[in-house]
Structure 1
Amino acid sequence: MSVSPGLAVRCLALDALAAATSDVLRRHGVDSMLLKGAGLARRLGVDRLYADVDLLVAPDTVIAAQDALHAAGYRPKFPRDLHVVAATWHEQPWHAPGPLPLTMELHRGFAGVGDYDELWRSLRVGADHLDLAGGWVLVPDEAATALIAALHAASPAGFGKPARDLAHALAVLSPGTWEAAGQLAERCDAVPAFTVGLGLLPAGAAVATRLGLSFTRGPSSAWLAARQATPAAVSLAHLAEVSGPGHRLRELSRLMLPLPVHLRQFDPRARRGRRGLLWAYVRRIGRHVRLLPRVLRELRTARRRYG
């Protein structure tokens, strides 16, 4: 793959950012792990371009990590109450200090994972030390790399670079590694997304079949997300998967009337005082109404797939 000098320099800058941010967090007592980037590229033996830095921390250290980043001059990409968001989101983008426009994603979990605490525990036990840009970072072992590759492919952006990463992972990682990845997925409640990600590629589908994972039964929300369905369709499918009327009511309220801090993240008008926030809610409801025919089509397709 031919890489332009500009992109190569940017990746070197991101490597330096990963090492520096990991060091910042470590000096504040926060352990972190580089999920993708240089660690994934070296694990798969490929030249891989990346756009940001993804660092995973233990869920119970997110607030300390945020405080450490603030103190070091990092700034959250979206104005919001970080302590509130820490309890509900699996990643938060931060602008890094310095002249280059670099982004660091602070993770407390990963898309498709139900148990963030177990994800951290499982990945941390097998983490490897990687020297990087004059510093060092922790990176996932081979089994965790396989898990992350499949989960990333199952994300809404999975048809691009994540699918290519998964193809490389399927080519270079051993059957025993994929078996261990399946065990990791089971421990951290990520089997549906793990299965969906593998199913995007013939080689992955063969691995899933060998592991005894079923493509005919399971939550449709992960399948919809991997195929870039509307967020409303994904949310409604997830609503049907959760148990108990109380949980479903909370999920429905988050879909229709999310917290203001969440709405401000995605709609700039919501940041313009109370009137702007009210107008953002009106726009959101109107958008759901306009998309309703498409949402229903997507749900019917998913129901046929997982019926």
Structure 2
Amino acid sequence: MTDAATPSIDLGVGMALRCLALDAAAAAAVDTLHKAGVDSVLLKGAGLARRLGAERLYADVDLLVAPAAFGRAQAALAAAGYRPHVGDELPAEGDAWHQRSWYAPGPLSLTVDLHRGFAGVDDPEELWRALRAGAEPMALGGGTVLVPDTAGCALLAALHAASPGRFVKPAADLARALDVLPADAWPAAARIAARCAATPAFAVAMWLLPAGVTVAAQLALPVSGPPLRWLTAHRATPTAITLARLTELPGWRRRLRHLARLLLPSAGYLRHVDPRARTGPSGLLLAHARRYGRHTRTLLRALRELRTARRIGRG
């Protein structure tokens, strides 16, 4: 019994130590940006864990900067020895446009995700203004970082649950936030969502959970919404999400441009989403083949998911 439990205990200790290293990396990155005259807010990580009053493990550092300062922030990181995960080209497809990942200098492989926005937010400038205005200082990793206030924490927990990627933890974070954050945090979060054009994503996340349904009804959040948001929150196939994003773009020109990027995605985007594409020309070619094969295999399921999302979207 002891022998069987030992690996999981060792893994938990290792993750906890890694989180401590990430806290120090967050403080160092914030200091690097501050010296370059760039303000930043720690979006999740230790700040979210303390707001939720939970032992929450995390895998990277997420820092938000003003969209207008994104270029200066990247230059400051590069000058300080940070290395981008991919080349000089910033991915521009789907939600990938709002962040860029950097390796922190040092012996450990630690990642700092530099954000100029957040998934589900259509007005990133307003998001930055709202989160920065309410940000509060927190001692972390031998330094001081800014973290969102309770309203900002509530908003981010919902937005992350609305765009969870491959992970189930965002829904658990939202459930915890609904349980422990004060009741007045949610109306305040809804007001910020309205200001930064994120109400559809905020609403679909709140309708995901029983406790969220109660809050959503009290706030009169829309039950229906764009299929893209519903599909993303319910972790539908990437093919269904891609089709929904294509159909929701305004105008045929934008749809055709987006379709062209889907059929022939940039090398930078492929390297961003598929680590094997970073191994050279052959890896890039195989990434193209895997992408086409994956979409082809899941097309029928994706069409069913899209039909369901549209039916729900019509109420």
**The two structures share one fold, judged by TM-score above 0.5:** yes
2:120 matches 1:105: no
> Which shifted more, 69-78 or 21-30?
69-78
**What corresponds to 1:77 in structure 2?**
85
In the alignment, is the contact (CA less than 8 A) between 1:80 and 1:264 conserved in 2? no
Cα deviation for residue 69 of structure 1 reads 1.0
User: What TM-score does the superposition give when structure 1 sets the normalisation length?
Assistant: 0.90
Q: In 1, are the aligned partners of 2:164 and 2:170 still within 8 Å (CA)?
A: no
**Following TM superposition, by how much is the alpha carbon of 1:277 offset from its aligned partner in structure 2, in angstroms?**
4.8
Task: Give runs of aligned pairs for residues 65-214 of structure 1, distance below 5 A.
Answer: 65-82=73-90, 89-157=97-165, 160-214=168-222
Corresponding residue SS for 1:236 = helix
Contact 1:158 1:226 in 2 (8 A): no
* TM-score, with length taken from structure 2: 0.88
5+ residue gaps, structure 1, are none
Q: Is 2:248 the partner of 1:241?
A: yes
**In the alignment, is the contact (CA less than 8 A) between 1:79 and 1:265 conserved in 2?**
no
Q: 1:297 matched to which residue of 2?
A: 304
Equivalent in the alignment of 2:267:
260
1:44 shift after superposition? 1.7
Correspondence for 2:46 among 38, 55, 59: 38
Aligned residues: 303
Q: CA separation in 2, counterparts of 1:55 and 1:18?
A: 8
2:25 to 14, 17, 20: 17
Pairwise CA RMSD: 2.3
- Counterpart of 2:269, as a letter, is H
Aligned amino acid, residue 295 of structure 2: H
Deviations 1:8-60 (Å, cap 9, x if unpaired)? 22111111111110000111111111001111111122221111111011111
- Structure 2: distance between partners of 1:168 and 1:242: 34
Are the structure 2 counterparts of residues 287 and 11 from structure 1 closer, same or farther at C-alpha, using a change threshold of 3 Å?
closer
- Secondary structure in structure 2 of the residue aligned to 1:49: coil
For residue 226 of structure 1, what is the amino acid of its counterpart? A
Q: State the Cα distance separating 1:104 from its structure 2 match.
A: 1.1
Q: 1:88 to 1:5 in 2, by over 3 A?
A: closer
Shift of 1:280: 4.4
Q: Unpaired runs of 5+ in structure 2? A: 1-8
What percentage of aligned pairs have identical amino acids?
58
Deviation of the 1:159 alpha carbon: 6.0
| Residue from 225, 230, 236 that aligns with 1:223 | 230
Change (3 A) 1:157 1:265: closer
Aligned counterparts of 2:290 and 2:16: Cα–Cα separation in 1: 41
Measured against aligned partners, the alpha-carbon deviations of 1:257-300 in whole angstroms (never above 9, x if no partner) come to 22232123234347634x76566445533433332112111112
